[in-house]
C-alpha cells in the first residue's frame, strides 16, 4: 500500500486558481516564495487572471505554483508521504518539486523558459490541441496519419487512457480531425484550452534548450519515485527525472502507461492536486481498484484522512 500525487497540466487551468487555494502555512509560504521568484523574473501581476491565462507561459507558471503549494500542504501540514509523483506535461515540474529534485525557484525559472520557447515555436500560425474520446489508441494514431499533410501536420500528443488520445496540430488539421473522428465513431472531439501545439516535433528546439538549462541543476536524491511522461516508466534518479522534464515537450505523454504502472508497483491511493479532477477520473478509469481523490472536490484535511486510510501512509 502506498500513495501517489498527481499534478495536472495545461487545459486544467482556471481563473483565480491561486487565489482560491485553501489557506494554510505551506500554501501561504509557497505563494510568497513564488511571488518573489516571479518578481525576479520580471513577471508583473497575477498569473491566474483571465487575461494572463491566455498566455501559455503564465498558464504553466500558475499550474506549477498550484501543484507545489498543494503538495507541500499535504506533506508539511498534514504529514502525508507520497511514494510516487506523476505530472501530466508541465505538471511534471511540480512533481519534481514535490520529490525534492527541483526547488520551486528552479522549476519556475525553467517553466518560464519552456513556455516562452513553446510560444515562439508556434508563432505565425494557429496551433492547438484536441482530445479524441471513444476511440482506441490505434484508431487515434490512424486518424492522425490519415489527416496530416505537409502544410497542416497533426501528431498524437497524449495517450491518456485506452480510449482518450490528445492530438496536436494546426487549427486546420484539428478541424479535419474532429470531422473524421465522428465518422470513425468517437464519442467526442474537444478542443483544449491550449494555445500551442505540444508534445510533438514542433517543440524539438524547446526540448533542447530546456535540457541545456537544466544541466546546471544540482544532483539531488529524489524522495519519491517519478513516473515519466516520455515512456510512462518509474525512475528514481535526478538525472532521469531532469531528462524527462526536458524532453517530454517534444514527445507524446504516455499517461495511461504511467497510471497503470503505479498500481502495479503498489500504489493504492492517489491525490490529484488542484485545479480540476481530470487526472483522478483517468486513474479511476484505468485502475478501478485504486482510490483517486481530487483536491478540487475536497479540503486538505479530508483528503489527507482518506489518503492515510487507503494508502497506509502518513
Record the cell numbers describing residue 259, joined without a space: 497510471
Cα(121)–Cα(196) distance, rounded to whole angstroms? 8
Half-sphere exposure of 284 (CA within 13 A, CB side): 11
Q: How many CB atoms lie within 10 A of CB 271?
A: 28
Our measurement of the distance from residue 240's CA atom to the centroid of its chain's CA atoms, rounded to an integer in Å, reads 17
Catalytic annotation, pick one of 199, 234, 251, 311: 199
Strands of 127-133's sheet, edge to edge?
A: 154-161, 164-170, 127-133, 188-191
199 classed as catalytic: yes
Nearest to 162 by CA among 260, 291, 277: 260
End-to-end distance of the chain based on CA atoms, in angstroms? 12
213 classed as catalytic: no
Cα(195)–Cα(209) distance, rounded to whole angstroms? 20
Catalytic annotation, pick one of 89, 161, 198, 311: 89
Cα(89)–Cα(102) distance, rounded to whole angstroms? 16
* Catalytic (active-site) positions: 89, 199
Amino acid at each position: 500500500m502506498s500513495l501517489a500525487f498527481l499534478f495536472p497540466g495545461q487545459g486544467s487551468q482556471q481563473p483565480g486558481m491561486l487565489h482560491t487555494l485553501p489557506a494554510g502555512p505551506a500554501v501561504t509560504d509557497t505563494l510568497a516564495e513564488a511571488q518573489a521568484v516571479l518578481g525576479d523574473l520580471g513577471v508583473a501581476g497575477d498569473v491566474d487572471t483571465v487575461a494572463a491565462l491566455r498566455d501559455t507561459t503564465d498558464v504553466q507558471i500558475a499550474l506549477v505554483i498550484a501543484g507545489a503549494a498543494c503538495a507541500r500542504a499535504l506533506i508539511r501540514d498534514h504529514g502525508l508521504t507520497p511514494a510516487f509523483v506523476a505530472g501530466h506535461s508541465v505538471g511534471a515540474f511540480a512533481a519534481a518539486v514535490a520529490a525534492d529534485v527541483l526547488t520551486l525557484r528552479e522549476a519556475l525559472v525553467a517553466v518560464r523558459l519552456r513556455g516562452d520557447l513553446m510560444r515562439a515555436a508556434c508563432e505565425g500560425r494557429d496551433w492547438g490541441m484536441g482530445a479524441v474520446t471513444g476511440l482506441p489508441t490505434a484508431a487515434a494514431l490512424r486518424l492522425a496519419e490519415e489527416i496530416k499533410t505537409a502544410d497542416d501536420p497533426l501528431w498524437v500528443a497524449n495517450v491518456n487512457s485506452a480510449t482518450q488520445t490528445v492530438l496536436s496540430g494546426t487549427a486546420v488539421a484539428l478541424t479535419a480531425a474532429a470531422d473524421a473522428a465522428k465518422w470513425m465513431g468517437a464519442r467526442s472531439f474537444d478542443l483544449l484550452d491550449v494555445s500551442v501545439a505540444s508534445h510533438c516535433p514542433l517543440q524539438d528546439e524547446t526540448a533542447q534548450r530546456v535540457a541545456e538549462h537544466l544541466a546546471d541543476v544540482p544532483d539531488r536524491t529524489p524522495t519519491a519515485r517519478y513516473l515519466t511522461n516520455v515512456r510512462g516508466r518509474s525512475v528514481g534518479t535526478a538525472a532521469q527525472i531532469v531528462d524527462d522534464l526536458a524532453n517530454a515537450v517534444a514527445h507524446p505523454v504516455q499517461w495511461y502507461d504511467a497510471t497503470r504502472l503505479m498500481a502495479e508497483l503498489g500504489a493504492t491511493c492517489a491525490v490529484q492536486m488542484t485545479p480540476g479532477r481530470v487526472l483522478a477520473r483517468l486513474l479511476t478509469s484505468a485502475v478501478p481498484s485504486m482510490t483517486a481523490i481530487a483536491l478540487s472536490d475536497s479540503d486538505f484535511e479530508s483528503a489527507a484522512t482518506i489518503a492515510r486510510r487507503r494508502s497506509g501512509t502518513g
